[in-house]
Structures are given as C-alpha cells and as structure tokens.
Structure 1
Amino acid sequence: MANPDTGSPAWQGMAMSEISVRALGEGDWELYRSVRLRALEESPDAFVASHDTEADQSEQFWTERMKRSQRLLAEVDGEAAGIASVGAVADRDDAAQIFGLWVDPALRGSGVATALVKAGVKAAAGQGKSHVVYWVGTDNGRAVAFASGFGFRPTSDRRPMRVVSEDDGEEEIAMDLPISDRIGNAPR
C-alpha cells in the first residue's frame, strides 16, 4: 500500500476513508484465517503462535477458534485493515479482554486500532462486562501510551511476556478500562 512515488503509505495525504469494524461469525472463518495469517507473517514477534503452525490448521481448528472469542475485523474501503479479539478473563466474571490486535502496517496511526478497541469495548459491554483488560509490554511505550490515551489504567497484575522482544521487554502489564460510562466517551 505504499505510494511508489514517495514511498510513504498510499493513504497519507489523502482524505481517509471511513473505518468500519464488524464482528465475524463462525462462517467467516476463512476471512479471519487470511487476515490472521497476514498478521502472523508481518509481525511474527507480536504473537505466541507462528504463521507456519497456523497455516497448516484445519477448517475445524478455525471454526472452533471463532467460537471461543468474538473476532473483530476492521475494513477501509472494503479491504481488511486489522483484527482484534474479545474474550474471557480468567478469574474475572466482570471483565473481557482485548487481544490479538493487529493493524496493517500501511494503516498504523490512522485510527484503525482505536476503532477496533472501541468496537471491542462495545462488544464487552454487550456481553454485560463492566471492565476491559488489555495486556501490553511494559517496555512498549507506544502501546502503553495508546492504551492510556484510550482510558486504560495500569494495574498491579503483571506476567512474563509470552514472546520476549526488544520493543516489549520481558514483562506485560494488565491495563484496565471501566466501561460503564466510557462507551460514548472513548477517543474517536
């Protein structure tokens, strides 16, 4: 998606199209699979799973995955731009967690991640949850700033990184967002 004349993303300098986010159903497993595999290929250090491992999985694996958590797809001009998932939090009935967040590199900084998180918060509220948890690497200043700007606040919950990288450090921190009064107030 880079402009061949400038090398910068094609969307820069142009009016940005509207970002839409939709929930995917079990029947959308092939679409989710294709975007998930793009994410694993483009950002291999951001996920516990690998592209090679997931690329070989069966249709049953993918349809079961679709049942375990709510999968969200962001689109710009009808093209997949990012994904995120909303799922359960162990030992917390009042909270859901947003995980597996990935945005196409050409669209990072364009509002796609914000749209996905906002949709995730609405999905959690629709499930009757009062909080959303988002785990970020303690050394990943950009991720911490993004979550903080959205209204997430650090908690005392920490865990070792599942995948250690220079950007994220060796530890993750759980950031928590009370959502009861935030649905309409989250950044746009």
Structure 2
Amino acid sequence: MSEISVRLLDEENWSEYRDVRLRALRESPEAFVASAEEEDDYPEERWRDRMRRSRRLVAEADGSAKGVASLGSYAADPAMGELFGLWVEPASRGAGVARKLLEAAAAQARADERKHLVYWVGTDNGRAVAFASSFGFRPTDSRRPMRIHGVDDAEDAEELAMVLPLGNTSGLPTSL
C-alpha cells in the first residue's frame, strides 16, 4: 500500500462519505447500530445533514478510501469530542490506517479546542481496547449497553468509554 493520507470531508463530499459508510456497514454489520439496507435509502439531504452535524475523516491510499472515522461533540460535556464510526477495510487492517485516522481525529479535536476525546469500545473487543490504549486512550469506569445490528441476544454486550487527554490537560475527566 502506498502512503496513507487522511482528508477532512465537507458537506459537498457527502456522496464520498455515503459510499465508504455503506461499504463499512456491508462489510462489518455487527460493528454498527445501523444497517446498510436502512442507510442505503437515505436521501441526499439526510447525508448532507450528517456532514453538518459531525466531522468526517476518510483515509485514502492508492487512489481509494481505505477507512473512515467520525468526530462529533460529546453531548455530556462540550469540552470533549467523541470519536465514532471508525472502520478500516479488511485488506488494509494492520497497515496503519486506523492510527492515521486517530491521529487526524485527535488533531482536529485539538483544533476544535476540545480537552478530551472519548471513544466507546466494546468490552469484549480486546483488539480495539489494546489499539486505543496504544494510542493513549485510557479506560474509564463508564459503561453502557451496546446494541449490535442483527444480533438479538446481545443483552450482555456493553461498551466502555476510553478517554484521550488532549493538549495541556492532565488526567481524565471525573465523569462522563
């Protein structure tokens, strides 16, 4: 794979985001609350609205999208950003795409004057927890039930909030 670059998409790039988002939903349906079938029928205005609500980052190499991540505001605390919707195509996993997306998301969160970045990770996804930890995210005591698309018996599934301090802030927030 050639060099990985990450681009911040704007509203006019809604169709690029839609295409990579639908790829992610089709390839990893268990990783998302939504389904490709559901989102495939969204009209252009709904995609544009999504672009206005959160920042969308796309990782590219060899002329095509290799991964995507979203960065939004964290509802409980405006000083915090939230990373969500992180996905890397299977053929590019382990090649540094996720790291590049996290670096870009953290840089954007700092530019947006966020103090911390929150990333919810499935407690049973050891690989994701280890990856986030290697980047500097730290686990918190905050947990929430996790809905898994297409899995009816996922009652016990939960996510934990991992937090990355940004800039000159020390420690983790006291509550999420």
Normalised by the length of structure 1, the TM-score is: 0.84
Deviation at 1:179, TM superposition (A): 1.2
Asked if 1:146 corresponds to 2:131, the answer is yes
Asked if 1:48 corresponds to 2:43, the answer is no
Partner amino acid for 1:74?
A: A
Match of 1:62 in 2: 47
User: C-alpha distance in 1, partners of 2:73/2:122?
Assistant: 20
Partner amino acid for 1:108?
A: R
Q: How does 1:17-96 map to 2 (within 5 A)?
A: 17-96=2-81
Match of 1:173 in 2: 160
Structure 1: 5+ residue runs without aligned partners?
1-15, 183-188
Deviation at 1:94, TM superposition (A): 1.4
Normalised by the length of structure 2, the TM-score is: 0.90
Deviation at 1:87, TM superposition (A): 0.3
Partner amino acid for 2:28?
A: S
Deviation sequence 1:25-65 (CA, Å, 0-9, x none): 00000111010000000001101110001001100010001
Deviation sequence 1:121-156 (CA, Å, 0-9, x none): 011001000110110011110000000000000011
Match of 1:163 in 2: 148
User: C-alpha distance in 2, partners of 1:54/1:72?
Assistant: 19
Match of 2:120 in 1: 135
Deviation sequence 1:43-97 (CA, Å, 0-9, x none): 0110111000100110001000100100000001221000000001121121101
User: C-alpha distance in 2, partners of 1:181/1:71?
Assistant: 25
User: C-alpha distance in 2, partners of 1:174/1:21?
Assistant: 25
SS at match of 1:27: helix
By relative contact order (CA 8 Å, sep 6+), the higher-ranking structure is: 2
SS at match of 1:18: coil
Give the length in aligned residue pairs.
Answer: 166
SS at match of 2:124: coil
Match of 1:5 in 2: none
User: C-alpha distance in 1, partners of 2:168/2:105?
Assistant: 15
Between the two proteins, what is the percent identity of the paired residues?
58
User: C-alpha distance in 2, partners of 1:126/1:94?
Assistant: 12
Structure with the bigger percentage of strand: 1
Match of 1:185 in 2: none
Structure 2: 5+ residue runs without aligned partners?
170-176
User: C-alpha distance in 2, partners of 1:162/1:155?
Assistant: 20
Q: CA RMSD in A?
A: 1.8
Deviation at 1:181, TM superposition (A): 5.2
